[in-house]
A = this chain, B = another copy of it.
Amino acid sequence: MELIDSHKIFSGKQLRYRHRSGVLNCDMVFSIYLPPQAEHGPVPVLYWLSGLTCDDQNFVTKAGAQRYAAEHGIAIVAPDTSPRGEAVPDDAESAWDFGLAAGFYVDASEKPWSDHYQMYSYINDELPSLIQDAFAVVTNKAAISGHSMGGHGALISALKNPNRFVSVSAFAPICAPMQCAWGQKAFTGYLGGDQNKWQAYDATALLLMSEQAVPMRIDQGADDSFLLEQLKPEKIQSAAKQKNYPLDYRLHAGYDHSYYFIASFIGEHIAFHAKHLSR
């Protein structure tokens, strides 16, 4: 693991590493914020999954999260959004909603994607092991959050691992990928045409099948141009109501899909996770 960038911010350290991923079969880069409390002992970890077109840096430079992470003594790990490198196949037309920077946090079963696009296992197995080996962090619990495609990734990670995550949150997540164009394109490409296999990565479907709840918060901008066609929060709201699932859904007038929206409420999300991580 190679340190490729380091900056002091809010008395902690914003670090960036390159490492070889066996699961993804390529070199990967991730960022981690270590709050000042990390100098004195293990701190809990919040994983942040970014959206389409992003890499590990968007959240780090634009969300303003470090202030709150330092306040609550939480480390934040921000991975990339897909495997990377010349050997990694991309969408034939370099579309921004499939292939590079659009891994959708699933383990692909279809060729040629399956050789590299194993983002679910990377996020939920390989990367956490690496983080726990390399940094003084709390190992028996974590929290997870994300934006848009990354909100979808956070929701499915928590729903599939309720014993590992103490809380999950999302900004403008793709709530029902089986029922929107982004998700249908990605799942068809990575998983093939059998929709039974898609359910394992659909937050609304997973919630309806869940037997153990993880406290969940979703924030959505009412002026988000993707709201109606791609994000469909009403699907997961309806599922949560049916299951009496602890979903705290908040719609915010005037906010859009950008990091300006995330910056406005990331403090509340980190406080939400801090409450659960400290229990």
Chain A residues near B (Cβ < 8 Å): 7-11, 14, 61-62, 64, 66-67, 221, 223, 254-256, 258-261, 263-264, 267
Say whether B61 contacts A9, CB under 8 Å. Answer: no
- Given A8-B256, A255-B8, A256-B8, A64-B261 contact (CB < 8 Å): no
Considering the chains assembled together, what is the distance between the CA atoms of A256 and B67 in angstroms? 17
Given B7, B66, B259, which contacts A61 in the complex, CB threshold below 8 Å?
A: B259
Say whether A254 contacts B64, CB under 8 Å. Answer: no
Give every chain B residue within 8 A of A64 (Cβ-Cβ).
Answer: 64, 67, 263
Considering the chains assembled together, what is the distance between the CA atoms of A14 and B256 in angstroms? 12
Secondary structure class of chain A's binding surface, majority of residues = mixed
Q: How far is the CB of A249 from chain B (nearest CB, A)?
A: 19
Say whether B66 contacts A263, CB under 8 Å. Answer: yes
Q: How far is the CB of A216 from chain B (nearest CB, A)?
A: 24
Say whether A263 contacts B9, CB under 8 Å. Answer: yes
Say whether B9 contacts A264, CB under 8 Å. Answer: yes
Given B62, B67, B221, B223, which contacts A62 in the complex, CB threshold below 8 Å?
A: B62
Considering the chains assembled together, what is the distance between the CA atoms of A267 and B267 in angstroms? 15
Known contacts A8-B221, A8-B256, A8-B260; can you find 11 more A-B pairs with CB under 8 A? Answer: A7-B256, A7-B260, A8-B254, A9-B261, A9-B263, A11-B264, A14-B260, A61-B61, A66-B260, A66-B264, A67-B267
Closest chain B residue, CB of each to CB of A6: B256
Considering the chains assembled together, what is the distance between the CA atoms of A64 and B263 in angstroms? 8
Q: How many chain copies does the complex carry?
A: 2
Q: How far is the CB of A254 from chain B (nearest CB, A)?
A: 4
Considering the chains assembled together, what is the distance between the CA atoms of A9 and B264 in angstroms? 6
Say whether A9 contacts B67, CB under 8 Å. Answer: no
Give every chain B residue within 8 A of A259 (Cβ-Cβ).
Answer: 61
Closest chain B residue, CB of each to CB of A263: B9
Q: How far is the CB of A252 from chain B (nearest CB, A)?
A: 8
Chosen A-B contacts, 6 in total, with CB atoms closer than 8 Å, are: A7-B260, A9-B264, A10-B263, A61-B259, A62-B62, A67-B263
Closest 3 CB pairs of A and B: A64-B64, A9-B260, A7-B260
Considering the chains assembled together, what is the distance between the CA atoms of A221 and B11 in angstroms? 12
Q: How far is the CB of A94 from chain B (nearest CB, A)?
A: 25
Give every chain B residue within 8 A of A258 (Cβ-Cβ).
Answer: 7
Considering the chains assembled together, what is the distance between the CA atoms of A263 and B256 in angstroms? 23
Give every chain B residue within 8 A of A223 (Cβ-Cβ).
Answer: 8
Closest chain B residue, CB of each to CB of A66: B263
Give every chain B residue within 8 A of A221 (Cβ-Cβ).
Answer: 8
Give every chain B residue within 8 A of A14 (Cβ-Cβ).
Answer: 260
